[in-house]
Every structure is written in C-alpha cells, then in structure tokens.
Amino acid sequence: MYSIGLDIGTTSVCGILLNAETGEMIKSYTRPNDTFIQTENEWERIQESSRLIEILKSIADDLLAEGLPVVSIGLTGQMHGLVYLNAEGKPVSVLATWQDDRGNLPYKDGKTYVDVMREVTGYPVATGYGSVTYYYDMVNGRVPEDAVTFCTIMDLAAITLAGKTKPIMHPSDAASFGLFDLKNNCFDKEAIEKLGLDYDMFPEVCSGYTLVGDYNGIPVGVALGDNQASFLGSVADTENTVLVNVGTSSQISCLTHSVPDTDEIDCRPLLDGSYIIAGSALCGGRAYAILERCLRQ
C-alpha cells in the first residue's frame, strides 16, 4: 500500500509518495511557495490562496502519475493563517498568513487588537491567529461580502481535492486560530460573541481524525497542524521523546495527556485526547537565511 503526504508551508509546498507498509519514501517533490503578495501595508503578510491550491494539486497529480496503488492522501501545512470561503467552498480572499501583523496595530485607548481580545476574552491570542485576523477584518469592514466561513489553507486544500463545499477542521488546526476551548474541543461561543463576532462563521471542528472525502477514489484525510504532523512523523517513542524542529518557525515539542494550567507555553491538540506542549520561536528560517547570506558574502 502507498500513501501521499502533502504540505503547504510558508516558503515551500511539498509532497511525498510513501510505502505505507515499509516507510520507504518512493518519490518527493518540493516547489517554492512564490505566492507572497506585496502590498503598501508593512504589517500585511498575505499569499495567493488559489495559486497555493494549484501548486499542491499539481504535486498530488505528479505523485499519482507514478501509477502505484495509493490508498490515502494526508495533508498538513502552516497553521494560524486564514482564508475566507463562499457557500460553494471557493476562496474569496487571499491567505492572511501566521506572519501577518495586523493584530498588533493600534486599536483604541492605546491598545492593539490583540490587547483588546485578550482583555475581553482572557484567551492568550496573538497576531497571525485566524481569530485575530477575523476580528480586525470585522472591525474594519474587510470581510468579503460573500464569505460564509473561513479555514486554514490546508483545510481548503482538503475540501478542494475532495470536491466538498464546507471545511472540516481537525482540533490541531482549530486551536491555532485562538478562542478555542481545549477541554471541550470547540470554539468558545461566549468569548466569540463577546467580541461581536459571528460564531456561525467559525468552521466545524471534528472530534478526531476523520476523512473529508476522496480524490479520484482515494480517501483524503482531514488536515493536521504542521507542528503536530512533524511530531507524529519524526518521533517513534511519543511518550519519552522531545522533538526540536527548525523550519520557517521553530518549535520544541513533547507529548502530554492533560491540559496544563499555564499560559507560559502552548498546549496543542494532537490525537485521541493527547496534546503537544510546544515552545515556539519565530526565527528559525530567518536564522538559516542570515547564515546563508553570510556565507555567500
């Protein structure tokens, strides 16, 4: 049996064809994510959502062209970022990535949008989180008129491949949006409505790993957050291993079976009632880029 894994990253889009029985990687593709859009707003970090899906689909088709009996397609990608969808499940906006800084803009009484959200809800949200992007857009009249929901870019990829119209989010992605109740596995309706946001805009959250649909008869799984996917793909002994990952961002992660009572470190859903405790820095890829430029000079 063979499986395909697809990843929409911040700087590249990747895919692998894997022997699901032996773990052998048969084929891999990495293509640059060249979809960043330059704007007059220094705080804005956006990418072309439709173009990202095109790149991902082309990789999936190239891997399927190998002619092997693929039995599943899994997805992951950059968490936190938001893209708006219409009733047909088509993107009606760009992707506001996790690097977007609109949440740190001044809002009122000397406070930023993030400050106000934290004060009103008690949730430790940060700029780049989907709920923060949505809050800023609602306040400033930037939500597209035909938008009925939103999701991450890999959730959009999943429903596009599966021919569905309504996104389904795994808790690992949903929690990355903020305003998510970890213990009850749902977006916090009370907190959302305190901010004057439309709870019905928030996507459906599944209770565990599930199938979204199929692509050319091949089951497509719900997308996982990239931190969680890297943990599952890299760690053999999940109970006794700490994972250090350095990409565009960087994280140090370990598994837990309970939600810690602290805001000092992120707690993120994994699978079947387990969680990842993750410490994240935003300078992983930047550190690599500085080193690369230094060596070239």
Residues 284-297, mean pLDDT to the nearest whole number: 87
Confidence grade of residue 35 (pLDDT, cut at 50, 70, 90): very high
Q: Is the pLDDT of residue 263 over 90?
A: no
pLDDT bin (cut points 50, 70, 90) of residue 59 is very high
Give, in degrees to the nearest 5, the angle at Cα 267 between 263 and 272: 150
Q: What is the pTM of this model?
A: 0.89
- Measured CA to CA, the distance from residue 132 to residue 117 in angstroms comes to 8
Give the pLDDT of residue 272: 83
As a whole number of angstroms, the distance between CA 212 and CA 215 comes to 10
Long-range contacts of 230-237 (CB under 8 A, 24+ apart): 230/76, 231/255, 231/270, 231/276, 232/270, 232/271
pLDDT reading at 183 higher than 90: no
Burial-class residue 17 by CB neighbours within 10 Å (0-12, 13-18, 19+).
Answer: buried
CA distance 171 to 253: 17
**Per-residue pLDDT tens digits for 193-249:** 999 999 999 999 998 889 999 999 999 999 999 989 989 989 989 999 999 988 777
User: Distance (Å, rounded) from C-alpha 36 to C-alpha 280?
Assistant: 23
Which among 213, 173, 145 has a CA at the least distance from the CA of 79? Answer: 173
Rounded to a whole number, what is the distance in angstroms from the first to the last CA of the chain? 47
Give the amino acid at 208.
Answer: G
SS3 257: coil
- Average the pLDDT over each of 34-38, 46-50, 156-160, 263-267 and give the range with the smallest value: 263-267
Show Cβ contacts of residue 70 under 8 Å, excluding neighbours closer than 6 positions: 2, 3, 4, 17, 63, 64, 218
34's CB contacts (< 8 A; 6+ apart) are none
| C-alpha 289 chain-centroid distance | 23
Mean pLDDT along residues 123-144 = 96
Q: Is 179 left (phi over 0), alpha (psi -120 to 50) or beta?
A: left
